[in-house]
Amino acid sequence: MDFRGKVVLVTGGGRGIGAAIARAFAGEGALVAVNYLRDAEAAAATVQACRLAGGDAFAVQADVAVADEAARLVDQVVAEAGSIDVLVNNAFRPYAFDPEQRKTFGELGWGDYQAQFEGAVGGAHHVTRAALPHFLRKAQGSIVNIVTNLVEHPLVPYHDYTTAKSALVGFSRNLAAELGPLGVRVNCVAPGLVYPTSASASTRARFREDIMAATPLRRLARPEDVAGPVLFLASDWSGFMTGQVLFVDGGLVMR
């Protein structure tokens, strides 16, 4: 895949899955805007890794769950890079994937759901809304939203997180239907448990082993495993795909 001359914005791109996605785009020649919330040091390290991979990158701080900051983020990216060709909505509210410490339904308040909605759907909404005029000006563009395989197979009932990601799938498909005639494609990538990341660090070894045993490919996803499907959906190789969800979990979910 060749992304030379393309500008890619990755939200939550400073570390983990987002950093792996940023590096992969840079490796194919893209100019990558690495959005981060607080960890400027991690974002700077990702920028350096992107340059070592053969592309270029720059970091932009913003809380994408806040509409004004998301708009500022897009304005800064366009001011520095000239355009946006690909948007990867990867940012989400912090979440600890620990099945032994999770809140049960009876322990959750509506505020817990709202926090996850604001991070997943709110962030994607705000950045997409700000970026859309730049896509429409060229009548082309690709948006890839990161969801989770839990939307199809809630192996652990992380109620608030999975419900928000399920809503992000619905958001994506409605966008795909509306924007397809205008040249903009919208798809989702749905990883299983990705290890190691800061979010999965608290997942006990025994539970990770159980998931691996149930997975046909007998291992967990690494951050780099998620990057390839994202690049595929952003590229011309998937030019006749929109509104789809690609599950990246070693075959745990088969559709």
**Which residues are annotated as catalytic?**
161
- Contact by Cβ (8 Å): 138, 236: no
Structure tokens at 101: 């410490």
Sheet of 141-146: strand order equals 56-61, 31-36, 7-10, 86-89, 141-146, 184-191, 245-248
CA–CA distance from 205 to each of 3, 98, 150, 155, 229 (Å)?
38, 11, 19, 16, 27
- Contact by Cβ (8 Å): 42, 19: yes
3-state secondary structure (DSSP) of residue 253: coil
Distance CA 145, CA 171 (A): 10
| Backbone angle region of 172, left / alpha / beta, with phi > 0 → left and psi within -120 to 50 → alpha | alpha
- Contact by Cβ (8 Å): 219, 192: no
Count helices and strands (H / E) in the chain.
8, 7
Distance CA 252, CA 188 (A): 17
Instruction: Give the number of residues written for the chain.
Output: 255
Give helix 110-117 / helix 159-179 axis angle, nearest 10°: 40
